[in-house]
Chain A
Amino acid sequence: MSIALTLNGRPFTFDGDPETPLLWVIREAAGLTGTKYGCGVAACGACTVHLDGAAVRSCAVPVGSVAGAAVTTIEGLAGTVEPSPADGLHPVQRAWIEIQVPQCGYCQPGMIMAAAALLRASPSPSGAEIDAAITNLCRCGTYPRVRRAIRALAAQA
């Protein structure tokens, strides 16, 4: 079965089992490995991507359910910024470097996608909004810096 969607602004067609989680389509059919497998049950958020602009956990989204949708991954995040940034980075990615957020880094693409979706919906989120929106898990314990980076971005908004 053939499923057409938009991936990072370009048309993409997947031929295969429509039950295949979007995560594996992104990683293996499209070869974009920035989106990570962490749990397979939408509990950790390492696989977070944007689906029509909203953060979703792609390990629990069958590709057959997103035909025609626009999917953005960490590799395409900077491409959503107008005008195109000279350093190739989305402001959230830039803040992540500035605050030196990542340690092992495995969860960070998902964390960044969750933060970018939050800041688009609410450019100056309250502490409670940040707590409610960022439920991604990080075993290295980067949460204090994730919070600092989001607050820094909110202060610029």
Chain B
Amino acid sequence: MNLLRKLIPDFLRQWDLDLQRSHPRSWSTRIHQHLWFLMLINALVFALGLLIRISTVKFPDPEDLFGWIMTPTVVYGAFWVYKVVLFTPERRFGIRKPFAEVGELGIHFISLLLIMTIPYNLAVTVTYRIANLMTDAEFVEDVDTLNKNAYLFIEGDGRLFHANNSLTDPEASTYVMSAHSHGYFKDLDEYVHRNDYVEGRPLMIGALYQEHLNAYNNVSDPNSEAYDTLSAAFHRSQIDSIERTCPFYFTAHGPFTPSYTEGAFLSDSLLEVGYVAMVRSERPIDQEAVRRTMELGHRYSESVGNRTVVEVLNEFAERRSSSFNLSSANEQIRKIWEAKTWTYFFMRWEGMVYVLVISCFLLAILLSIFKNLYWQPLLITAVVCLLLPLVILIGALILDETIRGLEDEKVMVYTYYSIALFLVGWTFLAPRTNTYRTIRAVLTILANLVIPFIAIFTIALLHFEWDVFGEEAFQNMMSTIRENDPNDVRLPALDLQAELLRQRVQNTLLVVFWGGIAVYVLALHSYFRAAYTRLMALPEGK
């Protein structure tokens, strides 16, 4: 603690003193010290983010870092909560100002949100550094180069091979399979039109090859009822014939293109066009392009191996599996693109708004309650909140089993709603009690937690269970029309109306949700704070 005191500069000490003397409620939130220490911590975290070793071949996953730093963040948060609850005007029966209490709630809420700058700082710093390891254009060019030359570095020899488990188990069956990244085609035309197969025509070579392969696997297995050595020999000879006479062509285009997001990469179609043109031209393979591709392999992976261009070309010419492990660069490329596009769970705005903001808001309410009331009812409330869902779930499952027609989900929803309504009722009774009892404090806390969300709970229940907006009925009507006549002329207009209705319902739910929170903050928070202070001041009933 002495070390912490040394970190506080003189101006902050003076500010602390002024706040303590003249604005005790603001002082008790420790917002001034919180901001200062957050600044220091964030400076350290930022420095850590800069010091972490980052290169194209190796860097930590920002999501992992986010999760990792949450532990010290929670420790800091707990320490901050401890400091915040030490001094409370209400616990000392000091002067109360309802408006100041709303401000205090706001400060707690912002303080909690600000704590989250710690994990964001680290994760964002590292992400930014990863994203800027190279320019986007450079990255796209690298990926395109790798994609264009990927056919030279195929793993697996492209020929039938035995996956023989007999080394470890003599009784095990022998199973054969082909390399998945290769295809056997009669010629380049068949390769180009490989996806244009029409029912009834003879199978293409690649498909035929696969059929013989499957058949061979079936009849060569001594444990299979279809076991037949003659048939096996036949299928094996067909397979060998295809492998000998039909050159394989590359089938997987763009294996290095990050699949989940759009970018300026060459599409699979363009890559195929280029590949086909190259094969058709029968020009010798560009050795400089191979060297460049291998350089890129080294750039993005430590485990590609050391091979020369000649070795790679020889392996390809002999249709052998490439010993230059280019695919090992794939994961790094995906991760760099993830950083460039900020595709992380902690950057999803829905998550930020609904998880972060709502959880911080609830924590701020709990903190305000804790500053206003004894710790025992809060602890009991926490236990109730943990156990109640379990009890309701078990009760619902029992009722579901014993009473016909009852659905456990409905039982749970209506039980929760009944409890919520009871707590809303208690909200009006809380200020009328004449003695303090722990159970009354617990009920008041629970009511406090339910009140901001009771409006959205009600409207959601009316919507999903009672279809008050008529959305479900509308959809049912459209389904009926669609079933009767899929080409009904009314359907496009009805689709539009359905979409409008859906948007209206969504907007209504949003307005009710935020409205409930706004009403709580502006009016009901002070009401509850008054109820707590009253409870704290009441004599204990024994």
Tell whether A and B belong to one assembly: no
